[in-house]
Amino acid sequence: MLTGKTAVITGASRGIGRAIALQMAQNGADIAIIYSSNEAAANEVKVMAEKHSIIARAYKCNVADFAETKTVCEKILEDFKKIDILVNNAGIARDTLLLRMTEADFDEVTDVNLKGAFNFIKHLSRPLMKSGAGRIINISSVSGLIGNPGQVNYSAAKAGLIGMTKTVARELAGKKVTCNAIAPGFIDTDMTASLSDTAKNFIDTGIPLKRMGTPDDVANLAAFLASEQASYITGETIRVDGGLGM
């Protein structure tokens, strides 16, 4: 389904990003794995992806750093020669109630979750336009759609990502680049492993499907949006939340 394509995936060493990288590799895409610090985990994803007879390489990058992102994108283009798919998945959370939230808590989350996506879109927009069928997929969150107590910073960044998605979709549509967002709900990852008992009880009472999602639930949609079958879908935000936000 993605044979001959090259995909750049940020935050690809674990969780949702890891699942997306492996799903796209399974579908035939060469993979650029962007990670922030865990080189061993990134290399593990690389080895697993290469089992699908594709090319995979790992790149360390602080996605919030504009200049560093530019350098990494140039290196990826040098290595792969072209880029067809960009998945902006890198994200962090610094959860606390508004009254306790520091300026650093807010800035760090928005810098990684929102500015990080801008940086990669900015630096890869031209090669994506040259692709003739470029795909940008931004991993937002249901928190960006309905809000969530304790996540003023995270919700704001993820809501901003939805606005960015719509604008980029309009700006790049003439070059046959689509841009869509995925809004996961409660997904079983490292980020949700430390949920309180109250939050875990909410899964049974607040989610119609009464379970957490898996990274593969998100990865399956990402692979579809990256494919030719999704060539007429752009500017959309699709929830993968078990019905939480409906």
Neighbours of 178 (CB within 10 A): 23
In a domain, 246, yes or no: no
pLDDT of residue 52 exceeding 90: yes
Which CATH number does the domain housing residue 58 bear? Answer: 3.40.50.720
Query: How much is the average pLDDT of 201-215?
Result: 87
Helix (H) / strand (E) containing 206: helix 197-206
Neighbours of 153 (CB within 10 A): 24
More confident residue, 68 or 198: 68
Q: How much is the pLDDT for 192?
A: 67
Distance CA 84, CA 29 (A): 9
Cβ atoms 117, 17 nearer than 8 A: no
pLDDT grade for 202, boundaries at 50, 70 and 90: confident
In a domain, 245, yes or no: no
Please write the tens of the pLDDT for every residue from 83-117: 999 999 999 999 999 999 999 999 999 999 999 99
The domain in which residue 19 lies consists of: 6-240
Percent of the chain scored above 90 by pLDDT? Answer: 90
pLDDT of residue 199 exceeding 70: no
Active site residues: 154
Mean pLDDT, all residues of the chain: 95
In a domain, 111, yes or no: yes
pLDDT of residue 122 exceeding 90: yes
In a domain, 190, yes or no: yes
Number of domains in the chain: 1
Classified as helix, coil or strand, 207 is: coil
Of 120-124, 169-173, 185-189, 231-235, give the lowest mean pLDDT range.
185-189
In a domain, 194, yes or no: yes
In a domain, 1, yes or no: no
Strands 6-9 and 85-88 turn out to be: parallel
Please write the tens of the pLDDT for every residue from 161-172: 999 999 999 999
Q: How much is the pLDDT for 98?
A: 97
Percent of the chain scored above 70 by pLDDT? Answer: 96
- Whose tokens are 């680049």? That residue is 177
In a domain, 198, yes or no: yes
Cβ atoms 180, 137 nearer than 8 A: yes
Q: How much is the pLDDT for 195?
A: 63
Classified as helix, coil or strand, 125 is: helix
In a domain, 137, yes or no: yes
pLDDT of residue 50 exceeding 70: yes
- Phi/psi at 138 (5° precision): -105, 130
Sequence-distant (6+) residues with CB within 8 A of 182 are 137, 138, 139, 140, 218, 221, 222, 225, 237, 238, 239, 240
Helix, strand, coil tally for the chain in percent (to 5): 50, 15, 35
pLDDT of residue 198 exceeding 70: no
pTM: predicted TM-score of the whole model, two decimal places = 0.95
Q: How much is the pLDDT for 194?
A: 62
Classified as helix, coil or strand, 177 is: coil
Q: How much is the pLDDT for 246?
A: 87
pLDDT grade for 238, boundaries at 50, 70 and 90: very high
Q: What is the CA radius of gyration of the chain?
A: 17
